[in-house]
Structure 1
Amino acid sequence: MPIKAILTDIEGTTSAVSFVYDVLFPYAAAKLPGFIRASYGDAEVAVQLAAVRAEAAEPAANLERILEILLGWMQEDRKSTPLKALQGKVWQQGYASGELRGHVYPDAVEALQRWYEHGYGLYVYSSGSIQAQKLIFGCSEAGDLTGLFSGYFDTTSGGKREPEAYRGIAQAIGLPTQNILFLSDVAAELDAAKAAGMRTCGLAREGALVADHPVVVSFSDIEPSRM
């Protein structure tokens, strides 16, 4: 079956891992406490703080305890939906002020633009929040790339190592899994997508990727019509 849509990871795939770990995470760690204290009365922030209490099983946690929990989750790189949502709000301020610019590999920019022009539907699936995804592509060093994408998916669609998440994404896209190509630098994610029926391709940008999938080092090596 021909590829009709391409679903891509971000970290290590379209964007450098170092950008996330050396730029975005330290920025969020430094700014998150001040942001939450200043936005404590905001309704959207309050929803996320309630979700933190529920996930931590600490319903009576006060503000300082919540901050302690969040900073601890950040240190362990926990894939927590409320944490990702709050990080996204902090990054939004950083992008708006010009302190942050999203990193996207030039070969990814070129390929995404070419695939869009050739009629492929382009989608993103990352453990970062949808808001954070839009910020990376919308405020990228290459300009606003959000117009290339038809949709975004995060952990609210399920874990990236769970086949069922990819089936749900395919249903949301409106295509059989066999018509979707998934790109990632993580073998376990590729395995889950393949188990769901998607076509797969691994990116080995920063070292060897041992996986039972086609593997390339650049987006320029990917030809969807031949996958």
Structure 2
Amino acid sequence: MTIDTVILDIEGTICPISFVKSVLFPYFVKQLPTTLNTIQFPLNLNINDTNSNQASIVQTLSKLPLSVTTSSESTYNYLKGLVDNDVKDPVLKALQGLIWKQGYESGEIKSPVYPDSIDFIEKFPKREANCKIYIYSSGSINAQKLLFSHVDNGTGIAMDLNPQLSGYFDITTAGFKQEASSYTKIIDQIDKKDNEKSVLFLSDYINEVNAAIESGMNSYVVIREGNTPIPDKELASHKIIYSLSELNL
């Protein structure tokens, strides 16, 4: 069956794994105290300008346990702990996206998407009318859109790849990435319930690949420089690629 739908992981698949751990996470932790110091604690949810980024941050913080938002210090310590332990918390992910937005818009952050990935994202949707690309990441959908709207293509001017993408999924809309049920949910949402084999998911994390395969879709392991090595015995039964240019779709 011909593959006409590709779902892409981000970190370690289409951009270096170091971008998240060495750029995005540190930027968030660095900016967090300044951001929290502009907010009144206990939280005031009656901010008139509901469109402001600060209002969005306050609304997001209000979803944290009340016991950790008694002060800026306690809130910082709680969030820093989540980051340090790489906890896939939806509130943290939403807050990260809001703070990263400031960095992207100021030009401090640009997304180092691999050239082969840029090329694939630009060309695959144009092959046939039904060829589509989706994104599935543990980062919030807002953070995903920010990443793809500020791609560093080497020209010095940020490139926007969002127009080539048909949709986005995160842990709030699909579920956790190591669970087969999450991929089943995506299959349903993109109307591929009876056509799972026309869908391909790409990831550097073998547990995610296994979960995707269990749901009925195809899935390949992507190996990039700097990724955590995967034992050969675990890779033996999987299709492996080192670049999206290897895809013959």
Q: Same fold (TM over 0.5)?
A: yes
Tell me which residue corresponds to 2:140: 129
Structure 2 residue 156 is the aligned partner of structure 1 residue 139: no
Shifted more, 208-217 versus 2-11: the winner is: 208-217
- After TM superposition, give the deviation of residue 61 of structure 1 in Å: 4.1
Q: Secondary structure of 1:51's match?
A: coil
Structure 2 residue 219 is the aligned partner of structure 1 residue 194: no
After the TM superposition, which residues 203-218 of structure 1 pair with which residues of structure 2 at under 5 Å, given as runs?
203-206=222-225, 208-209=229-230, 210-211=234-235, 212-218=237-243
After the TM superposition, which residues 1-227 of structure 1 pair with which residues of structure 2 at under 5 Å, given as runs?
1-39=1-39, 41=44, 42-53=54-65, 58=67, 61-119=70-128, 120-142=131-153, 143-156=159-172, 157-176=174-193, 177-206=196-225, 208-209=229-230, 210-211=234-235, 212-224=237-249
Query: Equivalents in 1 of 2:70, 2:240: separation in Å?
Result: 46
Tell me which residue corresponds to 2:51: none
Query: Equivalents in 2 of 1:59, 1:90: separation in Å?
Result: 19
Shifted more, 176-185 versus 152-161: the winner is: 176-185
TM-score by length of 1: 0.91
- After TM superposition, give the deviation of residue 223 of structure 1 in Å: 1.6
Higher-Rg member (1/2): 2
Alignment length (residue pairs):
221
TM-score by length of 2: 0.83
Q: Secondary structure of 2:74's match?
A: helix
Q: What is the aligned-residue identity percentage?
A: 37
- After TM superposition, give the deviation of residue 51 of structure 1 in Å: 2.2
2:238 alignment partner AA: H
Structure 1 residues 41-89: Cα deviation after superposition (integer angstroms, max 9, x where no partner): 54432332232217xxx37744321211001111111111110111111
Q: Is the 8 A contact 2:7 2:134 kept in 1?
A: yes
Q: Is the 8 A contact 1:103 1:136 kept in 2?
A: no
Query: Equivalents in 2 of 1:127, 1:33: separation in Å?
Result: 24
Q: Is the 8 A contact 1:36 1:45 kept in 2?
A: no
Q: What are structure 2's unaligned runs of at least 5 residues?
A: 45-53, 154-158
Structure 1 residues 127-181: Cα deviation after superposition (integer angstroms, max 9, x where no partner): 1111111111110102111111010111112000000000111111111332210
Q: Is the 8 A contact 1:183 1:202 kept in 2?
A: yes
- After TM superposition, give the deviation of residue 25 of structure 1 in Å: 0.8
Cα root mean square deviation, aligned = 1.7
Q: What are structure 1's unaligned runs of at least 5 residues?
A: none
